Structure 1
């Protein structure tokens, strides 16, 4: 018998329930993040912390603690906090704190790397009569059907950030207010410092008409089925998240692509001079490997295309990042075409 639920309900259980994906499986076995590609990602975040005078780093959605381990190797003096629902892995440095909630009133660099895309959201679809309806899913098969019309806060969010009023039948939108709320809560817990959300996403004028809901299993893209066997994800409405953070108290906002942010923080994909291969072959190979890793981190068609939403309280963001930022979102209104 089919078990029909909304995508938000089904994904919450599939990812975070007692037998959920993130409680029982190692994410790195299913997908690669910037942390897994190179320690240069951690080094860039360390430069961000140092440049803003912060000695604590909080990793939200810490997975198996890979970023904490890399940061500890680079800077043992840092205070490290991992926030994750899963039990503490043995690979997490002994000096790091492991908790299931973001600390309150913290002075820190808070990093949410590929976290918001896993905050479950509902999906709306325009029916043949032009009405936006909630999509329901059979949790065992992934089959879908259209449920009731979108109302209340869901409808208000769509009207402001992902309008479907004049969209053709079949158009879809992912209702992102749970992510806005999650990010606003992170910003409110920051007393002094910087919070940065890093994720794949889109802006209001570029929303994909069929949405972005998908899943990953064993390193491959698969059809999303909320049965705990795969990572279910969808892209983040970046401008809405930035707006929520500013409403929650962020005093400055920078929105940019990862390739620009990492370059500003010292990550370079420049290849070593070939002459080095003759004078220092091992050094040349090591430098070449770092160049290849950096290239993956800043690849515009991959990880380099991720968005960074960097929001600060009582801290001035590094000048290099300010120059790299291509877009600033203000709390007075959602982003509009031509704002880029």
Structure 2
């Protein structure tokens, strides 16, 4: 069924007279100012959206903060340690990029106010959100923190911030997976990019030469060679994003929480069709050309690529772990013991710790700049794969 956004994208292809990259298609599907999945809100009647909030039951997918508020308690423990490593600065800034409906930042503020009045008094918040609708929702989420409200800044893009203006923590949770990705396929004659064309009113995929040399650079940087017939995603936006993070951070830590893999796993034969997934009311599909503007689209994160770019541009790799080890290292078992074992909090925590679910699929990349950090409490327990994050040759 045609949607307003599918008609708009079709008109765009007709107007320019040639196919567009899948990255351009995904950018419009998620972020178009009129009909994009993330930018137009989820209220009934808006752009034909079904009216189910992101991450909630009946919505399109679950996010970690929606599964359990205990994630915020764990993160506050890590924020407190980082605050100490920075010498308890008079203005400690917590920047969250892509805060969604503001659930995580609200839970973090609730917890800091309860356990650390000194940090709460010194805290400033920057929320980077390009959707006016979601900015409104986020403002409602933090309105109970009158002190913090005076020190909250909303900006639409990271490049609006000044060079080295941040002292504190740069936090993102399930952000990078929503960046538009280029899709490529290895053919016998070499790497080809997947473009989106319009034939008889239908979107079809079209293979042609890569639209940018950056696609080959990402593969070569981590010594990845794709077998013939393999389809995968290359997230050029993630490279540019990491460079911007380095530019903005003066001193502190970058915490990136998302689902993804090291390069070795990302380009393994078991992912021969890539990692692109679409979500609609908790139904998972691999067809991005249906319900355009009404379903989410994501691709897993190549954490080796992020670590490599960070090393090249000024960040030091602190460590890499998965969600289970991150939570256990910061004392999730101790926190759970204080709750009724049948409570929603504990049941949610179990979901975060599930070995074949969020607990291993979600990874945590920790990087730092302008501060001496050999390790952090979150890295006490290390998974077996953390030593292969950056393959030999990466970062050079």
Given the two structures, how large is their TM-score scaled by the length of structure 2? 0.74
Q: 1:152 aligns with which of 189, 213, 216?
A: 213
For residues 317 and 51 of structure 1, do their structure 2 counterparts lie closer, same or farther at Cα, with a shift above 3 Å needed? farther
Paired with 2:125 and 2:375, the residues of 1 have a C-alpha distance of 21
* Superposition map of 1:146-225 within 5 A: 146-149=207-210, 152-161=213-222, 163-164=224-225, 167-169=227-229, 171-206=230-265, 207=267, 208-222=271-285, 223-225=287-289
Unaligned ranges ≥5, structure 1: 273-282, 336-340
Q: 1:99 aligns with which of 134, 148, 155?
A: 155
Paired with 1:245 and 1:310, the residues of 2 have a C-alpha distance of 10
**Length, aligned pairs only:** 322
Unaligned ranges ≥5, structure 2: 1-6, 14-18, 42-52, 114-119, 144-148
What is the match of residue 42 of structure 1? 72
Instruction: Note the alpha carbon deviations across 1:57-85, whole angstroms, 9 max, x for none.
Output: 21111111111111122123232222111
What is the match of residue 33 of structure 1? 63
CA-based RMSD of the aligned residues comes to 2.7
Q: CA deviation at 1:332?
A: 7.1
Given the two structures, how large is their TM-score scaled by the length of structure 1? 0.85
What is the match of residue 377 of structure 2? 320
Paired with 2:311 and 2:391, the residues of 1 have a C-alpha distance of 6
Q: 1:59 aligns with which of 96, 99, 106?
A: 96
Q: CA deviation at 1:330?
A: 5.6
For residues 262 and 146 of structure 1, do their structure 2 counterparts lie closer, same or farther at Cα, with a shift above 3 Å needed? same
Q: 1:83 aligns with which of 104, 107, 128?
A: 128
Moved more, 322-331 or 86-95: 322-331
State whether residues 246 and 253 of structure 1, in contact with CA within 8 Å, keep that contact through their aligned partners in structure 2.
no
For residues 300 and 187 of structure 1, do their structure 2 counterparts lie closer, same or farther at Cα, with a shift above 3 Å needed? farther
State whether residues 130 and 168 of structure 1, in contact with CA within 8 Å, keep that contact through their aligned partners in structure 2.
no
Q: CA deviation at 1:150?
A: 6.5
Q: 1:120 aligns with which of 163, 180, 183?
A: 180
State whether residues 164 and 173 of structure 1, in contact with CA within 8 Å, keep that contact through their aligned partners in structure 2.
no
Query: Are 1:250 and 2:311 matched, yes or no?
Result: no
Query: Are 1:108 and 2:145 matched, yes or no?
Result: no
What is the match of residue 357 of structure 2? 302
What is the match of residue 338 of structure 1? none
Paired with 2:322 and 2:339, the residues of 1 have a C-alpha distance of 29
Paired with 1:59 and 1:151, the residues of 2 have a C-alpha distance of 30
Q: CA deviation at 1:153?
A: 2.1
